[in-house]
Amino acid sequence: MIRWFIFLLIIGVADYYAFQSLRTITKSNWWYALYWVFTIAVLGNFVYQFYSFNRSDGFSHSNSYAVGLLIAMIVPKTVLLLIMFGEDIFRVPQAVYSYFTQDSGDVTKHFPARRKFISQVALGLAAVPFVSILYGIYKGKYNFKVLKYVLHFEDLPEAFDGYKLTQISDIHSGSFDNMDKVKYAVDLINEQQSDVILFTGDIVNNKATELEPYVTVFNKLKAKDGMYSVLGNHDYGDYVRWSSEEAKKQNLEDLKTLQKDIGFDLLLNENRFIEKNGQRIAIVGVENWGKGGFKKAGDLQKAKSAVDKDDFKILLSHDPSHWDAEVVNDDYHYHITLSGHTHGMQFGIEIPGWFKWSPVKWRYKRWAGIYEELGQYINVNRGFGYLAFPGRVGIWPEITVIELKKGSKKTNA
């Protein structure tokens, strides 16, 4: 109840200032009516979706859009609140001074009128996140980007010089609402003509049934040396209420079968070798292991059994927190770790090669892109799909292509 009170208080204060800005620049009752109809409709829909949410079904498309529209409304109003409240920092002292120096009992008459220019600037600035969020909901979530890197290693087997791998992560098939866009992304992955495709977890939101409509789409993925995958935290079905523990276990078994139908070799704390001309590299896959309350089913020691210390190793681990906690200081040297999980929070500002920022950086040390420590690399993929918020703003869905080169020089394309 306290949470709802705080929520409504924040909404009320934001609406007060947002409406003040609107009243300053227009006297049209039609605009006032439109403002309140939109506000009440968005809030009403969110409250309805909140109370009708069924944990047995999981997060639905209607739940997702209710969240998206609420964010699209709150963020611009927060911008208006900050600017208009900033104007009041100057208006209130003037009103107090006027009240004590002029003979008038009406307090409201002492407040200077709001400046139309300030309200126009406030509304203009608020329009930027409003339009951006709406774009992210309707276009940005399918704005797939291919990010290419070239990494050099002295100890890369010569047979694998120029070897290309494609990483995808966080498909979250239950969130999709446009089959054609997903087909386009699959074609885009195949166009990279990588030697191997590696998927780093969260193929569904909660249930295996979410993946069923997309099996015939994702089974079009092709790579001459195969496709390998691991599980993410959402793949275990931990975030919905099941009728029984047996139903939950069966869901996971169904998910494993569907991954096999797609063509993935699912690594459950296991490893595989890719061999060329008598040389090999190891693909090591752990189940989900994450800090901060996330499932810790991953067993790195078990996963690396049968792998030699001197093998060139590529590790698939869904959660990047695993890298700092267990991987980077392990007695084995993992040349490349591939992770996902963060989604880059699906929101941020990024100028490729120059600047990137997202609020998720306050939660995860490694949240997007390539990082290096102790001669080992981790790539945190920004995710293929989306979850909860039905869009992406500034942090676009990612297909990663990494080319391995033998030598000492390292460059990012």
What percent of the chain shows pLDDT beyond 90?
A: 82
DSSP-assigned states of every residue in 303-356: HTTT--TTSEEEEE-S-THHIIIIITTSSS--SEEEE--SGGGGB-EEETTTEE
Of 76-85, 140-149, 213-222, 257-266, give the lowest mean pLDDT range.
76-85
- Cα 64 to Cα 296, 311, 349, 388: the distances in Å are 27, 44, 22, 5
Query: Using CA atoms, how far apart are residues 406 and 209, in angstroms rounded to an integer?
Result: 43
Domain boundaries, the chain: 2-138, 145-406
Confidence tier at 412 by pLDDT (50, 70, 90): very low
Judge whether residue 352 has pLDDT over 90: no
Judge whether residue 225 has pLDDT over 70: yes
Cβ distance 209 to 60 under 8 Å?
no
Query: Using CA atoms, how far apart are residues 316 and 268, in angstroms rounded to an integer?
Result: 10
134-177: per-residue pLDDT in tens? 999 999 999 999 999 999 999 999 999 999 999 999 999 999 99
Of 27-36, 98-107, 268-277, give the lowest mean pLDDT range.
98-107
Question: Which pair of structure tokens corresponds to residue 308?
Answer: 């030699």
The conformational region for residue 409 under phi > 0 = left, psi -120 to 50 = alpha, else beta, is: beta
pLDDT of residue 141: 97
Cβ distance 363 to 379 under 8 Å?
no
pLDDT of residue 247: 97
* Residue of 136, 34, 17, 19 lying closest to 83 (CA atoms): 17
Query: Using CA atoms, how far apart are residues 369 and 201, in angstroms rounded to an integer?
Result: 17
Question: Which pair of structure tokens corresponds to residue 139?
Answer: 């276009």
Question: Which pair of structure tokens corresponds to residue 394?
Answer: 């500034």
365-391: per-residue pLDDT in tens? 999 999 999 999 999 999 999 999 999
Query: Using CA atoms, how far apart are residues 101 and 93, in angstroms rounded to an integer?
Result: 12
Cβ distance 343 to 387 under 8 Å?
yes
* Residue of 310, 373, 303, 300 lying closest to 330 (CA atoms): 300
Which has more pLDDT, 83 or 5? 83
pLDDT of residue 74: 94
Q: Using a CB cutoff of 8 Å and minimum separation of 24, what contacts does 301-310 make?
A: 302/269, 303/267, 303/269, 303/270, 303/271, 304/271, 304/332, 305/271, 306/271, 307/271, 307/282, 307/332, 309/333, 310/155
- Tally Cβ neighbours within 10 Å of residue 322: 25
pLDDT of residue 411: 46
84, HSE (Cβ side, Cα atoms, 13 Å)? 27
pTM of the model: 0.91
For 312, list phi and psi in degrees, rounded to 5: -75, 125
Question: Which pair of structure tokens corresponds to residue 349?
Answer: 């500002």
Judge whether residue 205 has pLDDT over 70: yes
CATH fold label, 145-406: Purple Acid Phosphatase; chain A, domain 2 (3.60.21)
Question: Which pair of structure tokens corresponds to residue 130?
Answer: 């409003």
Query: Using CA atoms, how far apart are residues 38 and 33, in angstroms rounded to an integer?
Result: 9
103-135: per-residue pLDDT in tens? 655 656 666 677 888 999 999 999 999 999 999
Confidence tier at 245 by pLDDT (50, 70, 90): very high
